Amino acid sequence: MARKVAIVGAGQTPCKGRWVEKTYWGLAQMAVAAAIKDAGISVKEVEGVIYGIYNDIFELSAIPEHALHGIIGMANKPGMRVTCGGATGAYAMLTAYTWVASGLYDIVMCLGVEKATDAFDFDSQTSTPEVIKTIAWSGDTFFEREIGWTASDSYAEVVLAYMDMYPGDLSDEVSAKISELLCQQAQNNPYAQRRGEIVTADMAMKSRYIVYPFKLLETCVYTEGAGAIIFAEEEKAKAICRNMATPPVWITGIGAANEHHVAGIQGNHKTMHRILSDHIAARAAYQMAGITNPLKEITVIELHDAYIKQLQITMAEMGFVPLGRADDLVKEGLMLPGGPILVNPSGGLTYAGHYVGGSNMMSCWSARRELITRGLDRALVHSTGSTIAQYACILILERG
């Protein structure tokens, strides 16, 4: 039988479009130091570490975690890297949870870090073309990449197929309002990349298209940063939290699923108008946590919003609104101030930032903070990743 596992510490660096003064080594050290301080323990008490690092080329190393292990105080202890595209952070946390729940280790740290904009395009004298090209190596290198695959047009395929299936949903007005809301919420996140920025629904509506139907102000941003989460088994978690006078935040449900990367109508191929991985992962997490009505039983949601319209589909796939009625998130006031669910209080990837390997650690840090500071009971942390939104991993958190 699996042991109970709690989050007992979390640390986060500021998110920036460019950390000129820090390497990814330095960012990792900052996040670890913050998490260790938050838990009130010594790094010597941590028995192993799981690294969430998405892209070798960003870090200019095929084994980027090897340089981190000693400098964060984990020499001669086990360490393992996880990489699952945009879902890297959540899958890394799932692995850390498994190490503790299995009884293998009592205290395990999960560290996510990314230094994306060291990739530089000398022709344009900017990072963007090289970052896009680097991410393109995530696509099918025999077919997709060679015809100009990018992350944006990959997700656009899914959203456009959904809009064909449900032509009355995903209105630009609703997506723009959600962008405005996330911007407002990011102002309460001291680490948000776009803190201090003001974006209104009107500004989002008028911003240029990146790839139809995605607009500039409804799209996540490149980010450099790091986050660390510390997991502990039940007795040690209770002792650590008593010492710090904070409640343990238990992981009570986990679900994950990866879809086929080829679209089709037969067998297990990708159903293009769905993000079935989100649906399957949510269903598994709910079953493990004993949740029968997510809209009534989950208060805080931190989800992977690479694009606002994808956020809306994900909320439908997870059962908070019906498919085809994702606009009800705003029209019915479900995620507006005073509504029953708090969605992306961190500002999400769109406004807090998206350092791919560790963005989900920031989501987890935020969800835990909201549970503790607001005295709420249950939160959901979600990730999606890879081409055409294939991967999903979901964690259910409950305040002790």
Question: What pLDDT, on a 0 to 100 scale, did the predictor assign at position 358?
Answer: 95
Which pLDDT band holds residue 370 (cuts at 50, 70, 90)?
Answer: very high
Domain ranges of the chain: 5-119+222-238
Residue 248 has a pLDDT of 97
The pLDDT-based confidence of 175 (bands split at 50, 70, 90) is very high
Both tokens of 44, joined, read: 């010597």
pLDDT value at residue 107? 98
Token digits for 269?
Answer: 């191929």
Q: What pLDDT shows up at residue 33?
A: 98
Average pLDDT, the chain: 95
Contact 346, 362 (CB under 8 A): yes
18: pLDDT strictly greater than 90: yes
Instruction: Summarize pLDDT for 228-277 with one digit per residue, the tens.
Output: 999 999 999 999 999 999 999 999 999 999 999 888 877 789 999 999 99
Q: What is the DSSP string of 236-281?
A: HHHHHHHHHT---EEEEEEEEEE--SSB-SSTTSB-TT--HHHHHH
The structure's pTM equals: 0.96
Residue the block writes with tokens 């796939």? 317
Residue 139 has pLDDT above 90, yes or no: no
Give 293-341 pLDDT, tens digit per residue: 999 999 999 999 999 999 999 999 999 999 999 999 999 999 999 999 9
d(Cα 219, Cα 312) in Å, to the nearest integer?
13
If you search the block for the tokens 């989100």, which residue do you land on? 278
| Exposed / middle / buried, residue 231 (Cβ in 10 Å: 0-12, 13-18, 19+) | buried
Token pair of 280, please? Answer: 């399957």
**220: confidence class by pLDDT, cuts 50, 70, 90:** very high
Can you tell me the mean pLDDT for 338-360? 96
Cβ 370 vs Cβ 126: under 8 Å = no
Contact 116, 223 (CB under 8 A): yes
What distance, in Å, lies between the first and last C-alpha atoms of the chain?
20
- Token pair 């001669």: residue: 76
The domain defined by 5-119+222-238 folds into Peroxisomal Thiolase; Chain A, domain 1 (3.40.47)
